[in-house]
Structure 1
């Protein structure tokens, strides 16, 4: 098994929330696993949606891949958003009148994607090689095909890691988004300034978002979970599952 990461970025992104209406469409702020699987499928040339009620090829072949996501270059977990208005004049969309819609679109979203890949699996091995070589079969995008996404070869990394750690330290730093279970987890320390430089203080924050983590195969809709991202340290007693210790990063990532 190989634990790898690469930094995905784009000029714009739009991960549509299905509960929004046709007039004002809202995007999830974070890249989530179902959207990421589609992007990874594009990297190795797997097919997307072809038939209503039928899961796409990329999901069938990559759904078991464990992933973790860390936002980069953000403001306390948030990305800048801009409103983009569209007019649609095709007949089937508006029944003879101009249909107007508006989307709150992410500006310059960037994420570090962690993947646990099994080289014994043909598709995962191909994904590993394409990510390492910065190659893709189809153009990957952030939610809409006009919002292309890319990564640079130098951002790809392979890590040594530990899992099922018997003795964790008293405090842990989680670098990725993680699933919140129950009440807010115990926080024990807040970030301090870098080497005493008051101009470089990392202000403490906790970011919450309810995000898709999978598909409900009976209802054919997103399965959601409460996700957290923070720069606080957490108590070891927080009891967060699926943690992988990456010593190079001096922290843990949650892979689901």
Structure 2
């Protein structure tokens, strides 16, 4: 089995949290699975959430059944791994204030003439600055192979955005390599992991002393980035379904025997020359 690798980055990004829609719009701190599937769907030309609005706008009575947007229906089985490239997974956020003067952002009702008209809307959004990730996709299905062909040949049907069309996405093809599964009791994982599936190995534990020398334990400094991110969407109303994900440099043990893969580290020239590797898990 092969793994497709590419770098996804941009000057800014905005992955909107749906819980808050007054005063200021907030973003998730990292790209999540649904947003990534949306980008891949745009590359392949699949329809998005606007398709669901078209269904609801049909005037005659229809039997509405649970349904997904086309991009999610076709890509929901993809096995992906997201590796943060910003230090410790933390991406700087800043509030941006701008005017939406197109009239599409806000509608007012003229009660006297019974018409709607657009007005100027002041928008406040929290943007991620200079985000970057390495994305890995397991090439075990036809849709994954279509994505490989598109990225290898620098082709896309629709422009890929990091959340909204204010944020263009840069995609850099990194290569395809053979998947190398590894089996052991403890790991350092370089991608996001589901929190409920792991157990952290504490610094002063006997298990860690079997892995590291005394000097390495003394200098052992662990960080942990944790966030509730969308993992799937509900078929009834297409709302996000969240799960807590973790990115850490600490050692962990998987509770359900999750398969771990090893890939080449392509962060910098020194890592490539030294043939250093990274450990990832798909979800």
Paired residue for 1:55, among 44, 68, 76?
A: 68
For residue 17 of structure 2, what is the aligned residue in structure 1?
17
State yes or no: 1:152 paired with 2:172. Answer: yes
RMSD over aligned CA atoms reads 2.7
CA–CA distance in structure 2, aligned partners of residues 240 and 173 of structure 1: 16
Kept after mapping to 1: 8 A contact 2:225/2:246: yes
Q: Residue 35 of structure 2: SS of its match in structure 1?
A: helix
Q: Which runs of 5+ in 2 are unaligned?
A: 57-66, 109-117, 266-276
Once the two structures are superposed, the pairs formed by residues 67-86 of structure 1 within 5 Å of their partners are 67-72=80-85, 74-86=86-98
Paired residue for 1:220, among 200, 215, 238?
A: 238
Superposition TM-score, scaled by structure 1 size? 0.82
Cα 1:248–1:25 change in 2 (3 A) is: same
For residue 161 of structure 1, what is the aligned residue in structure 2?
180
Paired residue for 1:133, among 153, 156, 164?
A: 153
CA positional deviation for 1:240: 5.3
Once the two structures are superposed, the pairs formed by residues 1-256 of structure 1 within 5 Å of their partners are 1-49=1-49, 50-52=51-53, 54-72=67-85, 74-89=86-101, 90=103, 93-95=106-108, 98-119=120-141, 121=142, 123-153=143-173, 155-162=174-181, 167-168=183-184, 170-181=185-196, 185-188=200-203, 204-234=222-252, 236=253, 238-239=254-255, 242-246=258-262, 248-249=264-265, 250-256=277-283
**Displacement over 6 Å in runs of 4+:** none
CA positional deviation for 1:92: 6.9
Deviation per CA, 1:163-197, whole angstroms, max 9, x where unpaired?
xx6x41x431111000011786234469x9xxx9x
CA–CA distance in structure 2, aligned partners of residues 206 and 62 of structure 1: 29
CA–CA distance in structure 2, aligned partners of residues 182 and 134 of structure 1: 36
Q: Residue 35 of structure 1: SS of its match in structure 2?
A: helix
Alignment length (residue pairs) = 238
CA positional deviation for 1:16: 0.3
Cα 1:68–1:56 change in 2 (3 A) is: same
Q: Residue 28 of structure 1: SS of its match in structure 2?
A: coil
CA positional deviation for 1:97: 5.6
Deviation per CA, 1:213-248, whole angstroms, max 9, x where unpaired?
0112234211100100001122x4x42554332154
Q: Residue 151 of structure 1: SS of its match in structure 2?
A: strand
Kept after mapping to 2: 8 A contact 1:69/1:113: yes
Larger Rg computed on CA atoms: 2
Q: Which runs of 5+ in 1 are unaligned?
A: none
Cα 1:240–1:151 change in 2 (3 A) is: farther
Superposition TM-score, scaled by structure 2 size? 0.75
